Amino acid sequence: MTIEGFASETAKWLEPELGSVFTGKQLDDITVKAALYSLNAGGKRIRPLMMRLTALMTGCGEEKMADVLYYAATLEMIHTYSLIHDDLPAMDNDDLRRGKPTCHKVYGEGIATLAGDLLLNTACERLFKIAIAKPEYLYASYFMCRNAGLEGMVGGQSIDLDSEGKTIDLELLYELQRKKTGALIESAVVTPYYLIKELNGEQAKEDKTACLLKKLSEHIGLSFQIRDDILDVESDPSVLGKNTGKDERDSKATFVTLLGEQGAKDRLSEEIASAKAVLSELGKMGYDTDGYNVLVDYLEKRDS
């Protein structure tokens, strides 16, 4: 299947679940309207796509697929909250996202802040709710929450804001990106496996498949981020759906500013090769890695 095929399958699978998060009278609330505006603004849904790929690759049955979907919608809510907050004037100050005016441009800064808060809070409620019903999912819920926090995305964003206008080295840039972009990608690639195996605590981290999936997510996360940095200098807002040239405007350290455009492209090729090497190991274990191979090829060349 092509990446477009995977994307359209993911959309058919995911959109009804996202559409059921807020219902009835809740839909009259202005913060809910703002949250749904961003949630439905046309993102690539790449994290849910990865969750489907892991689930299908590791042999997820029909019953568990509904739970993977629940977690996939939850992760997309966390991701969308981060974009709403990142676009605020106090952070990246952006007026274009997913080809549309950003949330605060339409609803104002106060409501946009609340919309992000609401998405994160609702995501946490969902993670608790499913773990109450199925306590064996407690670790998966904790893992998704943790990767959104200080050890993950918030921690990465914190280093990012603190580094603006400063010179940082490649090592700190790796840490920043591993947390800011990589942590949610790790959640996407690994969580479905935890759900399928119902692994708990330490065991969840020890399994060979889980370790390989974590490695895969690291290479995918870095590939995703390096391509993002390249697109910021090479692409066009009409194609990308968000403004370009922002990293230079904000004096941000990126793989392009630290390694140069060619250096970043070389680094991207290395990450893609490493991702493929991990996929080959998973293939030797008997997993069907065709889907992930298609995704990794797409990450090398994506233009939006």
Q: Given the rule CB under 6 A, which residues bind ligand GRG?
A: 43-44, 46, 82-83, 85-86, 98, 153-154, 157, 180-181, 225, 228
The nearer residue to ligand GRG, 38 or 209, going by C-beta atoms, is: 38
The nearer residue to ligand GRG, 209 or 235, going by C-beta atoms, is: 235
User: CB 61 → ligand GRG: shortest distance, Å?
Assistant: 28
The nearer residue to ligand GRG, 204 or 231, going by C-beta atoms, is: 231
Task: Find the residue with minimal CB distance to ligand GRG.
Answer: 43
User: CB 221 → ligand GRG: shortest distance, Å?
Assistant: 9
CA separation for the pair 245, 48 (Å, rounded): 28
User: CB 247 → ligand GRG: shortest distance, Å?
Assistant: 8
User: CB 207 → ligand GRG: shortest distance, Å?
Assistant: 28
The stretches of 88-197 forming alpha helices (DSSP H) are: 103-107, 109-133, 138-148, 153-163, 170-177, 183-197
The nearer residue to ligand GRG, 183 or 282, going by C-beta atoms, is: 183
The residue assigned the tokens 């759906």 is: 241
CA separation for the pair 265, 261 (Å, rounded): 6
User: CB 83 → ligand GRG: shortest distance, Å?
Assistant: 6
Query: In 3D, which of 170, 180, 158, 208 has the Cα closest to residue 58?
Result: 208
The nearer residue to ligand GRG, 212 or 299, going by C-beta atoms, is: 299
The nearer residue to ligand GRG, 164 or 288, going by C-beta atoms, is: 164
Rounded alpha-carbon distances, angstroms, from residue 161 to 58, 166, 226, 279, 299: 38, 10, 18, 34, 26
User: CB 69 → ligand GRG: shortest distance, Å?
Assistant: 17
Beta carbons of 152 and 179 less than 8 angstroms apart:
yes
Q: Which residues contact 190 (CB under 8 A, 6 or more apart)?
A: 54, 143, 210, 213, 214, 217
User: CB 135 → ligand GRG: shortest distance, Å?
Assistant: 29
CA separation for the pair 142, 148 (Å, rounded): 10
Angle at 182 between CA 118 and CA 281, to 5 degrees: 135
CA separation for the pair 13, 72 (Å, rounded): 10
The nearer residue to ligand GRG, 106 or 138, going by C-beta atoms, is: 106
DSSP 101: E
